[in-house]
């Protein structure tokens, strides 16, 4: 006879639960599926009614995302030499000609530079501070840790007013450096809290053994603690990166021409005559996909990251 456990749910209840959760998953993923599918539609297909579930896929949206185009008169278009290259051909099919690259590539690169820059800085500063908070008697430790956390409670717009004035004085407005520093300041609370949790879990004995072997504190930190904390550091880094990647309020208020990132840019993508939804969807798809992949990689540490380390599994 098999062992009977009172806490093991019955087979029927498992089935019912699986069914309901699957249903929820399907519904919750629909908007994301819709974004991705819209990015492969033609303009008219994207706004047809009833909405098209089946359609001929095209990369028009992606071509439009990366180019600017004009719509010449039909006679003018016919007089042109045959299109060169795939991009030009796809633009012609919509009755347009490519006049140059769009700013999407630039904005995307800004997101990458600012995202990675602020992540690197947050991790370096955060690891040092977290190590000190974890291992040493820092005066007013709890107050400092709470202070670090409380900086997250300020509404971004409230912080943006003085930052705007300060950056204008310092010449940091609309610069990559300015945004990197700002995102680092926002992310550092997350980095310190998460990393402190990870470092707390490394037994002190390893370091003490190293110290007895003649390592200095700093060597012990570098050669013993850092390698042990590598997973924690990596997942903290991904959380910081995702935050900086997704951030909108500061970006829209403090950047314009030079250092603007993708989130404030994507909603402004306008095609020839009205909002070009396939192009917006293409931009959104390219922008959201990396985060989806990172989320799947992170799934084990997700809970910890979103609660600042308050809940661990």
Partner 1 sequence: MANPIDIAARGTPPTLARKVRGLSDRAIAWIFVAPTIFLLLAINIFPLIWTIRLSFTNYAANKPNAEVKWVGLRNYERILTDEDIWSNMTTTAHFLIWTIFFQVLIGFTLAWLINRKFKGNDILTTLIVLPMMLSPAVVGNFWTFLYQPQIGVVNYIVEFFTGIPAASFSMLGPGGLAPWSIVIVDTWMWTPFVMLICLAGLRSIPDYIYEAAEVDRASKWRQFWTITVPMVLPFLMLAVLFRGIENFKMFDMVNLLTGGGPGSETLLTSIDLKREAFEKWRTGYSSAYAIILFVTVFGLASIYVKALNKVKER
User: Per the structure block, which two tokens stand in for 19?
Assistant: 């069914």
Burial class from Cβ neighbours inside 10 Å (0-12, 13-18, 19+) for residue 67 reads: buried
Coil, strand or helix at 165: helix
Least Å from the CB of residue 203 to partner 1: 17
Q: Which is nearer to partner 1, 99 or 216 (CB)?
A: 216
- Going by C-alpha positions, the residue among 161, 180, 149 that lies closest to residue 244 is 180
Q: Which residues pair with 68 in a beta bridge?
A: 100
Q: Which is nearer to partner 1, 93 or 141 (CB)?
A: 141
Report how far Cα 70 is from the mean position of its chain's Cα atoms: 33
Least Å from the CB of residue 166 to partner 1: 6
Q: Which is nearer to partner 1, 232 or 283 (CB)?
A: 283
What is the C-alpha separation between 38 and 164, in angstroms, rounded? 37
Binding region for partner 1 (CB under 8 A) out of 79-87, 196-204, 223-231, 286-294 = 286-294
Q: Which is nearer to partner 1, 55 or 294 (CB)?
A: 294
Least Å from the CB of residue 174 to partner 1: 14
Least Å from the CB of residue 255 to partner 1: 13
- Residue 309 binds partner 1, judged by CB under 8 A: no
What is the C-alpha separation between 207 and 203, in angstroms, rounded? 8
What is the C-alpha separation between 155 and 150, in angstroms, rounded? 11
User: Per the structure block, which two tokens stand in for 101?
Assistant: 């690259």
Site for partner 1 in 122-181 (CB under 8 A): 125-126, 128-129, 131-133, 136-138, 144, 147-148, 150-166, 181
CA angle 176, 182, 186 (to 5 degrees): 140
Residue choice 233, 237, 242, 259 for contact with partner 1 (CB under 8 A): 242
- Residue 228 binds partner 1, judged by CB under 8 A: no
Q: Which is nearer to partner 1, 19 or 77 (CB)?
A: 19
Binding region for partner 1 (CB under 8 A) out of 85-93, 96-104, 223-231, 240-248 = 240-248
Binding region for partner 1 (CB under 8 A) out of 60-68, 87-95, 112-120, 291-299 = 291-299
Residue choice 48, 70, 231, 258 for contact with partner 1 (CB under 8 A): 48
- Residue 290 binds partner 1, judged by CB under 8 A: no
Q: At what angle do helices 176-200 and 104-135 cross, to 10 degrees?
A: 40
Site for partner 1 in 176-215 (CB under 8 A): 181-182, 184-185, 188-189, 192, 211-212, 214
Report how far Cα 152 is from the mean position of its chain's Cα atoms: 18
309 in Cβ contact with 193 (< 8 Å): yes
């Amino acid at each position: 006879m098999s062992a009977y456990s009172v806490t093991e749910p019955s087979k029927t209840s498992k089935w019912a639960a699986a069914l309901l959760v699957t249903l929820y998953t399907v519904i919750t993923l629909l908007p994301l599926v819709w974004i991705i599918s819209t990015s492969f539609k033609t303009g008219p297909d994207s706004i047809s009614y009833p909405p098209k579930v089946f359609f001929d896929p095209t990369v028009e949206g992606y071509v439009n995302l990366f180019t600017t185009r004009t719509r010449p008169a039909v006679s003018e278009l016919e007089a042109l030499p045959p299109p060169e290259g795939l991009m030009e051909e796809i633009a012609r099919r919509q009755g347009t000609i490519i006049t140059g690259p769009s700013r999407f590539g630039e904005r995307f690169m800004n997101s990458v530079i600012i995202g990675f820059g602020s992540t690197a800085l947050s991790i370096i500063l955060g690891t040092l501070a977290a190590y000190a908070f974890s291992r040493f008697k820092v005066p007013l430790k709890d107050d400092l840790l709470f202070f670090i956390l409380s900086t997250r409670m300020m509404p971004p717009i409230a912080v943006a007013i003085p930052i705007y004035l300060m950056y204008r004085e310092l010449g940091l407005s609309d610069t990559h450096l300015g945004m990197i520093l700002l995102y680092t300041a926002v992310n550092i609370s997350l980095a310190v809290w998460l990393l402190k949790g990870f470092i707390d879990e490394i037994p002190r004995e390893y370091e003490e053994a190293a110290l007895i072997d003649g390592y200095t504190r700093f060597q012990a930190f570098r050669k013993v603690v850092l390698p042990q904390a590598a997973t924690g550091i990596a997942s903290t880094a991904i959380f910081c990166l995702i935050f900086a990647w997704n951030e909108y309020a500061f970006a829209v208020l403090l950047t314009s021409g030079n250092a603007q990132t993708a989130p404030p840019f994507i909603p402004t993508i306008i095609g020839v005559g009205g909002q070009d939804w396939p192009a917006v969807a293409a931009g959104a798809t390219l922008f959201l996909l990396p985060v989806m992949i990172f989320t799947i990689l992170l799934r084990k540490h997700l809970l910890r990251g979103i609660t600042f380390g308050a809940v661990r599994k």
